[in-house]
Amino acid sequence: MSFSLAKVVRSVARALPASTTRSLISKPSSTRSIYHLTNPTNQSISKKLALSLNHNGLCACGACRGVHTRGDKELIEFLSDEITAEKKSSKSKVPSNLDGFDVKLNGSEIVLSKKFNNEQVEITLNVNHSVDADINEEEINPKADNPPAPEMKSKPQFEVKLIKGNQITRFACSFVQDAGEAGEDAPSDIFTIDELAIYEGSHNEQTYAVAGDILDGYMYDLLMNLLEERGMSNDFADKLSDFATKREHDLYVNLLERLQSFVQQA
């Protein structure tokens, strides 16, 4: 897609009153509260919320010394509903091992590692800005009464390092976006090698790297086979995307909870 379908849906939702948006769009288990994203200027404040505000727009709950503004109250109310909905749609917990790879989590960064013969295989990815609507436009029926809602899926760029002592072979990879249906002779890989580099010590700007799309075609296939033998197959890449999606969702819910806590503080 030339633009993010999810962003378009969210933009439409912001322009509609809450009652209209909620009647038209139901929240799927894996999407980001599309029906919650509405414009406060297009709807009246609920009676419950209005009673909690004085004529100056300050919180009149008595417990926070009037420091909560109307905007605070609206955001707190929204976050409460959003957190509840997101937790209901939460998938299984992120495992500590994925197909023989040990997993280490450091915020948005994920590092997977394992031994392969005399090599250390290490996969590193970051889930920031990696989520988009995963939907096949060809499968959408515009005449359908209830078209399927897009699933939010994380497809981050990642790097694979093969380490032997101080020598490192590094593959910069990315998921194929909107690959469509592959023909008989078309490649069926769901990820590509974007860059190849070999160095000692640490990678820096002076390290020579070659783009994957200018490599000899046969050599490229052999390199993909090399990665597959070390566990980086299409099947594993699909599991890696699911893994990243779960992790990103957990971080998103945690962000909502921290924001709620911040706004609630007197």
Contact 122, 105 (CB under 8 A): no
Each residue of 201-216: pLDDT tens digit? 888 889 999 999 999 9
**Which band of pLDDT confidence, cut at 50, 70 and 90, is reported for residue 88?**
confident
Look up residue 201 and give its DSSP letter.
Answer: S
Please state, in angstroms and as integers, the Cα–Cα distance from residue 76 to each residue in 32, 255, 258, 265, following that order: 17, 13, 11, 11
Each residue of 172-199: pLDDT tens digit? 999 998 655 545 555 589 999 999 999 9
- Domains for the chain: give ranges and CATH numbers: 5-91+251-264 (no CATH), 97-249 (3.10.280.10)
For position 90, what pLDDT does the model report? 77
Q: Is the pLDDT of residue 122 over 50?
A: yes
Each residue of 139-179: pLDDT tens digit? 555 566 666 667 789 999 999 999 999 999 999 999 998 65
Q: Which residue has the higher pLDDT, 88 or 262?
A: 262
Mean pLDDT of 86-97: 83
For position 15, what pLDDT does the model report? 42
Question: Which single residue is written with the structure tokens 């989520």?
Answer: 131
